[in-house]
A = this chain, B = another copy of it.
């Protein structure tokens, strides 16, 4: 099983930025987490506001915590806001339940997650998926 090395992680980030440039998105922050919810790499483009790391991380962390892309986490938050409040509490406030947190799967297995923040949630998710796929993994946006 190909694992989430730093080289592969950087490949994901570059491909995500490339897609964002192609479709002309606003400045982004992109984080990659391993399967245990720890940061492997992050990059923030010039002009992105200062909390991008925290927001992008909250999307990726929420996806890993629930085992589904953060689009699904967002649906959960709408359906059952009290559950999301509880999840936020037990995670120490680490979850941002909106689209743009995408699971990285390799042969079906979750090996990490990408979180993108800076444009609309839909666009954030779109480029995260493109970046993951460009690096040869399966993307699961939820």
Contact = CB atoms under 8 A, between A and B. Distances in A.
Interface of A: 5-6, 9-10, 34-46, 49-51, 53-55, 57-58, 62, 64-67, 74, 77-78, 80-98, 110
Count of chain copies:
4
B97 A58 contact: no
A98 B86 contact: yes
Given A36-B38, A89-B95, 16 more contacts: A39-B53, A40-B43, A51-B65, A51-B91, A54-B90, A58-B90, A81-B82, A81-B85, A85-B97, A86-B88, A86-B98, A88-B89, A89-B94, A89-B96, A92-B92, A93-B93
5 contacts: A41-B42, A51-B66, A58-B89, A81-B85, A85-B88
